[in-house]
Structures are given as structure tokens and as C-alpha cells.
Structure 1
């Protein structure tokens, strides 16, 4: 569906993206994450045909992004992080204006606009866009990106700066677009959202790919599963299998060594103690991301 090969983007002496390659299958939700300045927005702009790469190739549905840009843009929807709207226009007039730019039949456009407003729970009641809340404006921008019924959507921080309810709504709406068969590429700083939504995730750092894959694959490569064992025993004096902390009337061991867990349970049993709790601590995508970025994590 989408093939990116050897992508590089330079701004003078600064390299924003370097040697970036990846593939996206039809119907996938593909998340791109990284710290500020990692090259996420630059990558999306190249994928959207807004800027040309200094080197490398992008193809969509077998078409070259820059040789066949007009045809590609007919099935592409783009939502920038900052999306200025024509605030003096009503929502319907604004969306109809963009439908006309795509040369969509007026009757088809009216039906599509009505469906989009319904699907997005966007009841503007004839208000001008400038009178809408930030969340409603974001929904208008999303509706605009869908006015041509595109196969491929590129969304830069679609829920950025919104209240939790609106953010959740937009996340669920993006998920529903996948069910319609659309391929979606997006960036987000909310890594819980990325982990719950994406089929495939690309982590960028300093413009370069660190890893790409499913959340489980990234966890296997970079995550460290730990075990938390909480127990009670009268005397801890001769316990020497691992570091121990105290929690109320119990002791806690956190380790990534399953042998320590097994030997500790045997030791506790031999001292007549009790196992209070034993659980596995699976790192979240956020934990792994922070670790990759060099932020030290502390076990609880």
C-alpha cells in the first residue's frame, strides 16, 4: 500500500530525517512517535506531498508521490497539527467549499457532509466556525480531511490539546475509520493511545528509525519483564537472594530473574512465611519509549 525507502530531508546543514524506510499495509493504523524534533511532522509532510525529500522514494498504491502527486492527492486526506480554518464561514459552507475543490457532485457532497457531521457528533446549528469550541473546530478539520472519501489518512496529533472526552471520541472515531478499510498514519504524544490504537509503530529519534513493529515486537526487543513478589516472614535476616524493601508488614522483591522468584517462594515456605502477592510487571510502550530516549526509570 505505502512504501518509503531511504527518505532523507535536509534544511541547510540540519538533517531532519535520515535514511528512513518502512512499509504500511492496507487498512493498518500506523503510529509514528518520538520526542519533539525527532522528525515526525517532517515525515508526515513528505508523506502528504507537502514537501519534497532531499533523497529517497515514496509510493502509494503503486504510484510515485511526486510524479503522480495529483492522482495520489485525490485519495489522500491530510490533517496537520495546527489546522487554520476559515472562521468566518459556517461549517456546511466550509465543507462544501472543499468538496467543490475536489469537483465532487453537489448532491453527493451534501450527503457526505451530512453523514460526516452526524458521525462526528458535530451539530454547529449554523454557527460560524470562529464561534465553535476548540474540540468542535478539530472535528471540522477532520471532516474536511474526509470530504473526498480518501483511502489514506495522514493525521498529525489529531487529539492534541483537547479535553479527555473529546480526545477519547476522536480516538474512537479514528478506530472506526479503520473498520471502513482506510489506512491511517498518525503521530501522537499520548503513548497509551498509540499502543491501544496502532497495528504498527515507528519510533524516531534524531530523525532516524530506532525500531518499527507491533507493540508486542517492540516490547520483546526493548522491554524488560519484571516480577514483583510480596511476602510475609518472621525473620528476614538470612535472606540473600535479591534486594528487599519493606511495605507495611510485608517484604517486597522486584526482579527480572524468574529463578529468584522461584527460590524466594521456596525460602519463604521453608521459614513458615506467606506469599501475599506475586505478579508480572509488563512494561508499557511509554516505559520503553522513555528508556530508549535515555530517561532513567525507577521500579516502584
Structure 2
């Protein structure tokens, strides 16, 4: 569905994106994460044909990302999405459906179905009088008026309350289940981990990790085992009525079991702990801090 090879974007002497390579398959939810200034939004805008690359290629289906024909099968949601505030949701969505030459009856059924799913009420209220969450739902509905195959969402849940955020995330998964391809970025890495099939982590314009969260965890993280015992051991800490020793492999778990047995106690629980995507990201970004690939790219 999406093929990116050697994608670069430079503003003057500043490389915003440095040689990105990745592919996204049909029906996949693909996350692009990283700190502010990592190149996420620039990458999304190049995929949407809104920013011209300085080098490399990006294709969507059979079209280059910049082709006008590609945009007819694209739904784009920027992080900041100002609406025509004197319009109502219905008139606003009808206006955009007309731009895509969607028949009125089809557009009406499609937008009403989407607004029903997003639980947007007050569809004849002026957009300027709506909350941010309501406006975001309208913007999401706008991205779907042309029934696109590809959706590019930049921070789709930005600034939304937890309930509205859950609606947006659930709806994103439903879109993928219907065969649509979704590429999105988010600062909240729990959101990314909860819905994405695969992710890339960007830092200073460069992809520094990629794969499923499990793949990234296996390559960059480590599993720890929390062994709870009835008696304290030299390396243990209090844990309520029990004591916990944190170790990194099953050999060490067996050593804890043997040690507490010799002391006359027992193991009451063993819990496996895996790092979250956020913890992995912080670790990877911290290790990348010592080198700056964008600085290297300008030499």
C-alpha cells in the first residue's frame, strides 16, 4: 500500500527527515512516534503529498505520494484542524463531500453513519460553538467523506478527554478492520501501543527502531521477573506482607527459590514485567542522544 525509500526532507541546511525506509500494508495500523522535532509530521505531510521531498521516493498504491489522483483515495487529519466555524457539522461535511464529487445521498448516509459511531450530537449546531472534542470528531468524519483507502492521522486524539480519546482509538481499529490503512503519530505512546500493528520510532529525523512492539521490546528491552517471597532476602524489597526480588532470567528465579527455601520460606508469586513502548522509547532516545544523525547528514 505504502512504499517509502530513502525519503529525505531538508529545510536549508537543516535535515528534518534523514533517509527513511518503510512499508505499510493494506489494512494495517502503522504508528510513527518520536519526540517533538523528530520528523513525524514532516513524514506524514510528505506521504499526504503536502510537502515535496528533497530526495527519495514515497508511493501510495500505484501513485507517487504527490499525485493529485492519489489524494482522492486519501483522508488526512492534521494535528491542528481549523474548521469553518459558521457552518454546522452537516453543512461542513456536505461541502467537503461535494469537493470530492460524492453523490449527495451517499454522502448523507456515510456522514450520518460516521457521526453516529462517533456519538456526535447537535449536528445542526454552529461549529464555532462546539467543544474541541466535538470539532475533532467532525474533522475525523471529514477525513472519511470520500471513503478513502488510506488515512493519515497526525495526533488524532490531541487534547481530547479520556472518553473521547477511547472513541477515537476504537474507531481507528474499526477502520482497519474494514480494510483501510491507517498511518498516524501520537505523543501518548500507550495509545500507539494499544492500536498499532507496527511502529517506527524516529529521533532527530531518522528511524532508530522499527517493528511490532514485541519486536522492539525483544531487540531493545528486557524482561524482568518479580519474585515474591514470604521471607526477606539480601536483594529483596518489602512488598506489603511479602518481599520482592527483581531478577532478569529464569536461572536467577531458581536461585531465589532455592535461597528462600533454605531460609525456611517460600515463593508466593512470580510476575513477568515487560517494558512499555514508552519505556523503550525513552531508553532508545536516551542512547541516541550521544550522536546526532542530522548533524552527520549535513557534513
Mapping of residues 126-205 of structure 1, within 5 Å:
126-205=124-203
Tell me how far apart the structure 2 counterparts of residues 112 and 45 of structure 1 sit (CA, whole Å).
26
State the match for 2:27 in structure 1.
27
Structure 2, unpaired ranges of 5+: 288-299
Match among 283, 288, 293 for residue 280 of structure 2: 288
Task: Give the count of matched residue pairs.
Answer: 287
State the match for 1:71 in structure 2.
69
Tell me how far apart the structure 2 counterparts of residues 246 and 96 of structure 1 sit (CA, whole Å).
62
Structure 1, unpaired ranges of 5+: 296-300
Describe the superposition over 1:33-92 as per-residue Cα deviations: whole angstroms up to 9, x where unpaired: 1011111001000010000010010111121223xx111001000000000000011111
Tell me how far apart the structure 2 counterparts of residues 230 and 46 of structure 1 sit (CA, whole Å).
51
Q: Tell me, what secondary structure is at the counterpart of 1:49?
A: coil
Describe the superposition over 1:163-221 as per-residue Cα deviations: whole angstroms up to 9, x where unpaired: 00000111111111111110000011111111110111111011100111111111111
Structure 2-normalised TM-score? 0.92
CA RMSD of aligned residues (A): 1.5
State yes or no: 1:41 paired with 2:33. Answer: no
Q: Tell me, what secondary structure is at the counterpart of 2:286?
A: coil
Describe the superposition over 1:228-260 as per-residue Cα deviations: whole angstroms up to 9, x where unpaired: 1122338x5xx5xxx333445543321213222
Tell me how far apart the structure 2 counterparts of residues 247 and 176 of structure 1 sit (CA, whole Å).
41
Structure 1-normalised TM-score? 0.92
Q: Tell me, what secondary structure is at the counterpart of 1:142?
A: helix
After superposing the two structures, state which structure 1 stretch, 45-54 or 265-274, moved more: 265-274
State the match for 1:116 in structure 2.
114
Mapped contact 2:227–2:270 kept (Cα < 8 A): yes
State the match for 1:252 in structure 2.
244
Tell me how far apart the structure 1 counterparts of residues 238 and 147 of structure 2 sit (CA, whole Å).
59
- TM-aligned CA deviation for residue 125 of structure 1: 4.0
Tell me how far apart the structure 2 counterparts of residues 112 and 132 of structure 1 sit (CA, whole Å).
22
Q: Which has the larger radius of gyration?
A: 1
Change (3 A) 1:102 1:263: same
State the match for 2:294 in structure 1.
none
Describe the superposition over 1:112-146 as per-residue Cα deviations: whole angstroms up to 9, x where unpaired: 22222222211224111001111110000001110
Change (3 A) 1:257 1:113: closer
Q: Tell me, what secondary structure is at the counterpart of 1:217?
A: helix
Tell me how far apart the structure 2 counterparts of residues 184 and 13 of structure 1 sit (CA, whole Å).
32
Tell me how far apart the structure 2 counterparts of residues 278 and 107 of structure 1 sit (CA, whole Å).
59
State the match for 1:298 in structure 2.
none
